[in-house]
Amino acid sequence: MRIILLGPPGSGKGTQAQLLVQRYGIVQLSTGEMLRAAVAAGTPVGLKAKEIMASGGLVPDDVVVGIISDRIDQPDARNGFILDGFPRTVPQAEALDELLKHKHLKLDAVIELRVNESALLSRVETRVAQMRERGEEVRLDDTPEVLTKRLASYRSQTEPLIHYYSERRKLSTIDGMMAIDEVTRAIHRQLLALGAVEPKTHGKTHGKTRARSAVKAAPAKTAKKSAKKPAKTAEKAAKSRKAAKKAVTGAKKAAKKTIKKTVKKAGKKKAAKKTAKKAVKKGAKKAAKKVTKRRAKR
């Protein structure tokens, strides 16, 4: 499955991408994360991007397109990926279409997380506070001033993608103001409706793939939450296993019944055929007798 998460800074793309990674066993490809890693490593791309990112501008299209193209070719992306923060401009979207076509890959959906702009600043402030709490380095561009600039660039350069993908019948819009798990459920429902995922992936987690992916560790809060629920999760899993077993047994029983009925019917048909044959034979014998009698009389 290959999907794009679209939304302004603070709309929850990163959070949802991480949850989708766990559920579907695909990788999150975040250009922001990759660029931050390049800046930290001091690579030529990082040196180019550093100032632009700090000021809230957009890194040149060819740079991010190159990064994404290389990343899609990695073995861990073969199973599918979520693009988070890419594409951000129409030329990037066109370049993505081109490179997917070239690689014979299909884009399943573009999920737009729609949020009230007024909520974005407080969301980013919460994110900064949580990162500080966890002792993580705070992003240089997570300040009210830079956020205003990032929002302006979202409106002018990224929002046109809503029209771009809607025209291509790829766009699904989700209310990003709902609680995190409600948004995840809404995305899952949408992906199910589009046939991008199979029903069995509901509630499934892919620990191994997640560990292999380039995604950062889950936030402490999420980790705590899931630690609180192991008993409930185990109970749920046992229940669904029971239900699955019941369904299989039911299906087997139904199949047996159908087979029995069919055999019975076939048997009846055979008997009917036999009777018919007998009747035909009897009729023929009778007719022959009649003819013999008539001839004898003559």
Residues that bind ligand AMP in the complex, under the rule CB under 6 A: 9, 31-32, 35, 52-53, 56-59, 64, 85-86, 88, 92, 141, 150
Choice among 48, 114, 139, 170 that is catalytic? 139
Is 88 a known active-site residue?
Answer: yes
- Per the CB < 8 A criterion, the answer to whether 105 and 2 are in contact is yes
Catalytic annotation, pick one of 2, 36, 50, 127: 127
Q: Is 241 a catalytic residue?
A: no
* Least separation in angstroms between CB 29 and ligand AMP: 10
Smallest CA-to-CA distance from 89 within 27, 171, 164, 33 is with 164
Is residue 298 among the annotated active site residues?
Answer: no
Which residue is associated with the tokens 């129409």?
A: 90
CA dihedral 121, 127, 132, 134 (to 10 degrees): 170
What count of Cα atoms within 13 Å lies in the side-chain half-sphere of residue 207?
A: 1
Which residues on neighbouring strands pair with residue 172, listed in sequence order?
111
228 assigned to active site: no
Which tokens is 297 given? Answer: 């009389």
Residue 211's identity, in one-letter code, is A
Closer of 53 and 107 to ligand AMP (Cβ): 53
CB of 55 to ligand AMP, least distance (A): 8
Given 36, 71, 150, 210, which residue is catalytic? Answer: 150
Residue 250: φ, ψ to 5°:
-55, -45
Which helix H or strand E contains 151, and what residues bound it? helix 144-153
Closest to 27 in 3D by CA, of 97, 65, 106, 83: 83
Catalytic residue from among 36, 88, 123, 210: 88
Has 127 been annotated as catalytic? yes
Q: What's 175's DSSP letter?
A: E
What is the spatial distance between Cα 40 and Cα 295, in angstroms, rounded to a whole number?
115
Q: Which helix (H) or strand (E) holds 111?
A: strand 109-114
Catalytic residue ranges: 13, 88, 127, 139, 150
